[in-house]
Amino acid sequence: MENVDLIINARWLVPIAPANVVLEHYSVIIHQGDIVALMPQTEAKQKYTANSEQHYDQHCVMPGLINNHNHAAMSLFRGLADDLPLMTWLNNHIWPAEKRWISDSFVEAGSELAIAEMIRGGTTCFNDMYFFPDATGRVADQSGIRANLGMVVIDFPSAWAADTEEYLHKGQQLHDRYRRHERITTSYAPHAPYTVSDDTLAKVIMNAEELDVTIHMHIHETVGEISQSIEQYGFRPLERLHNLGLLSPRLTAVHMTQLNEQEMSLCADNGIHITHCPESNLKLASGFCPVAKLDQQGINITLGTDGAASNNDLDMFAEIKQTALLAKAVAQDASAIPAHKALEMATINAAKALGLDDKIGSVEVGKSADLIAVDLSRIESQPCYDIISQLVYATGRDQVTDVWVSGKQLLKDRQLTTMNLSKIIQNTQQWAEKIRHEDP
């Protein structure tokens, strides 16, 4: 018999690829962080022994969720300014708070809070966009989660960088630091069309091609963004970005709530990816991403939470459910975005957008063992007719009991194994007291 590091035995296994499949009483065989075999438990017993064997007799095992748009450190601003439209929220509250508080230590503390929350909710990989990304990288490295760090670019000074050249230089340093890291990757993260000039975007496009990395940007988020672009440039933002050469399979466009038919075709023709953030869009009243129409055109749609300052949580199970429900309401079609498609958006679709679909996003031989176990034994999950439907429409993040990244267990029976939860809470409360008393 062959000896391996870990065998996970599951009542149900949802591999994501192939699509809409549920395997019963299967074993996931893991060695040196990768999945080396999938087979019925009866066969696995005859072929393998393991240093550790775990049984999940009332659980579904599936790929870890991928949060494809986040501002992790902004978790420290959770609840700071609510019930406001986007530009009021940004101009009058968030940007002043960032000017006052953003630092390496702030981002480290906020990232610890966010990553702990994400792991407990079944997120094993996140795509981040924020200042001091090296601080987020340190926490990601220590915690064991997988992360894509945004090389932030914006045309005004911050505590992170004084000008465009410094943003680009620090991004290059970040990329060089993590270019060979097993779990941490980088992408360019120009903030938005209204905060990044044509000249800067041209440099981002050139650098992204040279480094062979993806680009991650807020686009077509609000009505105001569209009218501002027409007034300033004579074009809607997407047309302007197309003229600059930004639209390509490297690009993940975030939000995309303001799209006409021509722009949807433009997205499909250029192979861009779209990250839908339903809860943030709802809370800020930004609009509705036409997910069903985009899906019909074959566009790769992924999901993100946005930051906890505008959501106010990092709950990917909630985003999956909202995606399926909103798509039906917007399309006025109950069959739009069925459960398995919504689940794919939070797993394999996001992996494709990040250029990581050869490593993560599905439970397949040869891929990294980024997995979660979801307890379906609770009264709220009974009865279980359709497991995939159950995961999308009747499962909460509190049902995630165990999490692995590259075969390393980060959550065991709801307890974090690599992070000190009480210390994170204490540190968060200390930051909250400072922010509360100095920014009345």
Do 1 and 48 contact (CB within 8 A), yes or no? yes
Does the pLDDT at position 440 exceed 80?
A: no
- What band does 95 get if pLDDT is binned at 50, 70 and 90? confident
Does the pLDDT at position 416 exceed 90?
A: yes
**Domain 65-353 part of CATH 3.40.50.10540:** no
State how far the Cα of 397 lies from the Cα of 315, in Å rounded to an integer.
7
Encoded tokens for 115: 């990553």
Q: What is the pLDDT averaged over residues 384-395?
A: 97
Encoded tokens for 370: 């980024």
Do 399 and 44 contact (CB within 8 A), yes or no? no
Strand, coil or helix: 186: strand
State how far the Cα of 115 lies from the Cα of 238, in Å rounded to an integer.
32
What sign does the CA torsion over 330, 332, 337, 342 have?
positive
- What band does 439 get if pLDDT is binned at 50, 70 and 90? low
State how far the Cα of 358 lies from the Cα of 361, in Å rounded to an integer.
8
Percent of the chain clearing pLDDT 70 (strictly above): 99
- What tens digit of pLDDT does each residue of 164-183 get? 999 999 999 999 999 999 99
- What tens digit of pLDDT does each residue of 232-244 get? 999 999 999 999 9
Domain boundaries, the chain: 2-63+370-406, 65-353
Neighbours of 19 (CB within 10 A): 13
Total number of residues shown for the chain:
440
Fold designation for 2-63+370-406: Urease, subunit C; domain 1 (2.30.40)
Q: Tell me if the pTM is above 0.95.
A: yes
Give the mean pLDDT of the chain. 97
Does the pLDDT at position 432 exceed 50?
A: yes
- What band does 89 get if pLDDT is binned at 50, 70 and 90? confident
pLDDT of res. 85: 84
- What tens digit of pLDDT does each residue of 262-276 get? 999 999 999 999 999
Does the pLDDT at position 390 exceed 50?
A: yes
**How many degrees, rounded to 5, is the angle at CA 313 between CA 290 and CA 401?**
105
- What tens digit of pLDDT does each residue of 346-389 get? 999 999 999 999 999 999 999 999 999 999 999 999 999 999 99
Do 345 and 323 contact (CB within 8 A), yes or no? yes
Whether the link from the prior residue into 312 is cis, omega within 30° of 0, is yes
Does the pLDDT at position 277 exceed 90?
A: yes
- What tens digit of pLDDT does each residue of 184-199 get? 999 999 999 999 999 9
Does the pLDDT at position 145 exceed 70?
A: yes
Q: What is the pLDDT averaged over residues 47-60?
A: 98
pLDDT of res. 438: 67
Does the pLDDT at position 64 exceed 80?
A: yes
DSSP labels, 212-232: T--EEEEES--HHHHHHHHHH
Q: In what order do the strands lie in the sheet with 415-416?
A: 34-40, 23-31, 2-13, 48-63, 371-375, 400-405, 408-412, 415-416
- What tens digit of pLDDT does each residue of 284-319 get? 999 999 999 999 999 999 999 999 999 999 999 999
